[in-house]
Structure 1
């Protein structure tokens, strides 16, 4: 297996790094542009495995997608989707899979959506059940992909309630579908639990950018007017989840890394992690991570060097991400220092250890980009940290290793891996 060993720099990391565009915003913009009539230009976009899966799927459904440069898409839609000739393979892209499962209702025939072995373990049943209440016929026999949607160019329902306890992406998928109905659609939450509410705010903002009329009713419902989408141009802000690794690298080494954007200017939920990172090494004893889930692995790696233990709560949903991130972080941090991290129910407790308790280790990444990028941060202080399958970062941050190297981090690849 390919691997990459990190040498602690022994000096503050200084320089400028431009994080890639937001995956969350890029994949929302691609779909909305595809559902609009006319040509939309998306700039500052992320080009990664996840967004390529979305772009390729849209092309297979009759949408024009061009890539004039490394950070732009030009999308030409007709307001309709064509049933693809073959199943849509979406890798382990949760956004693409959930969003397209709803959008497939607008196709002119059956659509099969599938993914890799990891995606086939990620739940989608709550979304399938919600679509049924809109009159959309969809089946996912295992409760996970593959999913078959019987597209018929639209849907009939005007009210849908969805259980978003496992993922806010179910709500986002329905909100993006809703403007394409024949009449106003009310989207409601079943109960109070929701994966990460801030991502729903991102979705609403994106739909409005493409002309949708969405009104929020209290904390648990949205009313979306019919009318479809209009082509628009959108500039994608940098990815806040990617920024957390650079913010953490800065405080771990006492450096100064200019990202070209202030933390306060991000609209993505994970930017909330910045204040916690700046508190290092006096991070709080408890961090509630439900509303910044993708930042939790970064914060957990940082907590390994905090002055006091840190308990991460509200993170049960991390068990159904690209891997079980609670178990993965506990196992791999403890590989570096026994007892460094443990699972307590669905909580993760990180207890800093003396420096001489750390040892070299080959870190399993479970094909999960966030496990690879967060645990690499430990290698900024601990010699002998080797990341297995380092190429998995291509899912959302293809230039991660190059960016660390540009800041002065020495990286030693093996088994043919190229930085």
Structure 2
């Protein structure tokens, strides 16, 4: 089967202009769920419209929630404080937030069998920590492969109201349980098993969104949260731009010595990936060791920049990148070595990028296998701003979170050579 290809033509100049990144995927999918669980009509503005949020919205519609889209960045969500059983399995593509968030809400509110499924890539993404946690609450839930599909035999309630969750692989498991908590009928306690948690900053996003929709939740200790059985109330909610999307624009600015106005200062973001701005701003003298544990989705962006850094960079704390939309540690390593062998290597779960500023201006014919991962495609496009011959396979995969990405770069003066299979 032939694959669509997009070759970036280096602009040969600083990129300057204004680009508005789309709304935050992380916040949009949290807000969609919370608005759906609320009683009344909520208006979500600044929202992201992409594959991931479409899957979430369609799943909620299938469970009786009214969702209208009067504008390009607006959802109007009407809920009745309940979810009903869908008529068929919920197909969620490779939308990790939707697949992780929905089972807990379904278990708390739906008295019927519900199957949560995804595509071939989702079938490789682990979900057992969440399944095990829900089983401990008396939920009849199974995931035979340890990954989706997940089958929930719902009773519309939890038998217990204190759950211990292993969040070492993903903070999304914790967010799923926290968001279900206000609908559980009794005070609900979420406790971490140990201190390991992937990207703790995303828990803060969850708590902020919950409180905006009327929830009462208190962080008792760094590893224990107490949630009151308030349910949710409808509200109008504005969603900030996506910090992960902003990293590509910050990277393009740094690589080309340009000036790109994204409309939001880096200090105004609440998402963890905004921490990448400080590291990117240090280019071409980024630090020798970069801990990616709290800005995971930004690491592919920074790793591609590191290929043009003055000195080598070791990325640590990135083991969780192996269970994202693809094994991103491997995908970044393979992509960099396709540009020039020896540019990157893996040591355990660390990634070392050797860095060679002389790559700028060279021609290095390289086809980048994106593994259908939007972040691999968008990150490696940055290499094409400085090095000729960089070809992105399956460029449309950016539709998962940033459908307008290629148009955004084009608006700054980037051109492409496109090959579409017949």
Structure 1 residue 267 corresponds to structure 2 residue 265: no
Partner of 1:155: 158
For the residues of structure 1 that align with 2:355 and 2:281, how far apart are their CA atoms? 18
For the residues of structure 2 that align with 1:378 and 1:178, how far apart are their CA atoms? 44
Partner of 2:73: 71
Matches within 5 A, 1:246-265: 246-265=249-268
1:378-403 per-residue CA deviation (whole Å, 9 max, x = no partner) reads 00000011100000000000000000
Partner of 2:376: 371
1:87 shift after superposition: 0.3
1:271-314 per-residue CA deviation (whole Å, 9 max, x = no partner) reads 00000000000100000000000000000000000000000000
Query: Where in structure 2 are there 5+ consecutive unaligned residues?
Result: none
CA RMSD of aligned residues (A): 1.1
Partner of 2:282: 279
Structure 1 residue 140 corresponds to structure 2 residue 143: yes
Partner of 2:304: 301
- Counterpart selection for 2:36 from 34, 37, 54: 34
> Is the CA contact (8 Å cut-off) linking 2:55 and 2:98 kept in structure 1?
yes
> Is the CA contact (8 Å cut-off) linking 1:80 and 1:153 kept in structure 2?
no
Matches within 5 A, 1:225-374: 225-353=228-356, 354-355=358-359, 359-374=364-379
> Is the CA contact (8 Å cut-off) linking 1:156 and 1:181 kept in structure 2?
no
Partner of 1:181: 184
SS of the equivalent of 1:384 reads strand
For the residues of structure 2 that align with 1:391 and 1:208, how far apart are their CA atoms? 36
1:362 shift after superposition: 1.0
For the residues of structure 2 that align with 1:145 and 1:398, how far apart are their CA atoms? 25
SS of the equivalent of 2:160 reads coil
1:357 shift after superposition: 7.4
Q: TM-score, normalised by structure 2?
A: 0.98
- Counterpart selection for 2:85 from 83, 86, 89: 83
> Is the CA contact (8 Å cut-off) linking 2:6 and 2:416 kept in structure 1?
yes
For the residues of structure 2 that align with 1:400 and 1:359, how far apart are their CA atoms? 23
For the residues of structure 1 that align with 2:132 and 2:202, how far apart are their CA atoms? 21
For the residues of structure 1 that align with 2:322 and 2:366, how far apart are their CA atoms? 23
Partner of 1:164: 167
1:358 shift after superposition: 6.0
Aligned residues: 417
Is the alpha carbon distance of 1:416 and 1:69 closer, same or farther for their aligned partners in structure 2, counting shifts above 3 Å? farther
Partner of 2:417: 412
SS of the equivalent of 1:386 reads strand
Matches within 5 A, 1:18-57: 18-57=20-59
For the residues of structure 1 that align with 2:170 and 2:196, how far apart are their CA atoms? 9
> Is the CA contact (8 Å cut-off) linking 1:156 and 1:182 kept in structure 2?
no
SS of the equivalent of 2:21 reads coil
For the residues of structure 2 that align with 1:277 and 1:262, how far apart are their CA atoms? 14
SS of the equivalent of 2:71 reads coil
For the residues of structure 1 that align with 2:154 and 2:77, how far apart are their CA atoms? 22
> Which runs of at least 4 in structure 1 moved beyond 4 Å after TM superposition?
none
Q: TM-score, normalised by structure 1?
A: 0.98
> Is the CA contact (8 Å cut-off) linking 2:362 and 2:388 kept in structure 1?
no
